[in-house]
Amino acid sequence: MALLVTSQLNQTVREYNETTGAFVKVAASGGALGDPLGVVIGLDGNVLVSDGQTNQVKRYDKSTGAFIGVFASTNLSGPTGMTIHDGVLYVTNSNPPQGVQRFDAATGVNTGQFVSSLGNPSPRDVKVNPANNHLYVLYYNMATVETFDLTTMASFGLLMPAGSPLGSGGLYTPSAMAFGPDGNLYISGGTFGGNFGVRRYNPTTGAFIDFFANTGSDLNVPIGIAFGPDNNLYVATQNAANVMRFNFPTGTFMDFFVPAGGGGLTEPFHLTFGAGAGPTLTYTLHRDCLNNVDDPGIGWQIEGGKVLQNRKHVANYSSVKRMSCGTKEQNTAQLWVTLFFLGKKPPENITLHGAHDFSSGGEIGSVSAASSAFSAHIGKQFKRVGNTLTIG
């Protein structure tokens, strides 16, 4: 895991050690990258960068930072913040058509758009709230957040009143948001005169909670924010070109994790943790068959069916459980599961190895093998509870 930060003036993404903040390498460059704004880790572990100048999402090799190709471009205009959730890439459009464009995170195919209920809101960031599975879209011009249904793409309305120009809790020109370890919503923004920083809001009611982190100097204009593996809050400031770190849960300033201009950083915009680690995948398994086969070693249990993601049939699965004298006493079985994804020949796939507990019905283990689109998940843990399978 590493810290990736977009660097606008030298048209790159910079990588830093997640523990020390030391510069590691240029994580993305070339491919006519004009204005790197958003950055996420793709399903294959490579780096995806939104280019506000060419209106594209570009893909870069996770090891070398070399340009691989344009991953997505359909209907993009001023793309900024991005997020990946359940195999879907969401990209904000700050220019018309303003809103959020939705793409298949494996293929880059556009699958629709979320339309803002406000005129000229200039969306800058997008996240999925894991607590309610709603899409949250941050509006720069209106200092508010609109939420949407992931499946129907219908709006649930504004989370807090639109700013005119100041929003709830003094929010102004917000650029990024993140869900914290406490489940609350954190948003960067503010005004000159000591009001720049990160504000905290109730993710359900939109109520302002507090001014969580004050970046202090007016040079430290907060843009990108992310919670790190240490649960602390990291804030990229555009004018000073640094990354500040604030303690969670107190909000106390800790240090300049990346000093001004460290590693060649210029005008940072968005940042993310997790180079080389694909996002969490969540699937629903719909069983079509279950067969028990006895043999001298005790027996096999063979299961198969459909794999659903956001209620869409995306793959088929085959599960094999081996019971023997070595597992009977604990009422368990060795487990092999392979997911075969639709759309390609031969199909992209993920293979899981682990154990099945017959008492609870639960399954745990790790990804033992995967094809190119899912190679970043090799070695990641999986868990199955009921019909829900989570990888990562």
Q: Per-residue pLDDT tens, the chain, 392 aa: give them.
A: 799 999 999 999 999 999 999 999 999 999 999 999 999 999 888 999 999 999 999 999 998 999 999 999 999 999 999 999 988 999 999 999 999 999 999 999 999 999 999 999 999 999 999 899 999 999 999 999 999 999 999 999 999 999 988 999 999 999 999 999 999 999 999 998 889 999 999 999 999 999 999 999 888 999 999 999 899 999 999 999 999 999 999 999 999 999 999 999 999 999 999 744 446 788 999 999 999 999 988 999 999 999 998 788 999 999 999 999 989 889 999 999 999 999 888 899 999 999 999 988 899 999 999 987 787 788 888 999 999 999 97
Residue indicated by tokens 């096999």: 300
145 near 206, Cβ under 8 Å? yes
**pLDDT score recorded for residue 360:** 87
Chain centroid offset of residue 84 CA: 4
DSSP state of 95: S
Question: What span, in angstroms and rounded, lies between the C-alpha atoms of 242 and 235?
Answer: 8
**pLDDT score recorded for residue 137:** 98
**Region for 246 from its dihedrals, namely left if φ exceeds 0, alpha if ψ lies in -120 to 50, beta otherwise:** beta
**234 token code pair:** 């990291």
**pLDDT score recorded for residue 279:** 60
Question: What span, in angstroms and rounded, lies between the C-alpha atoms of 2 and 243?
Answer: 14
54 near 72, Cβ under 8 Å? no
**pLDDT score recorded for residue 277:** 44
Question: What span, in angstroms and rounded, lies between the C-alpha atoms of 139 and 162?
Answer: 9
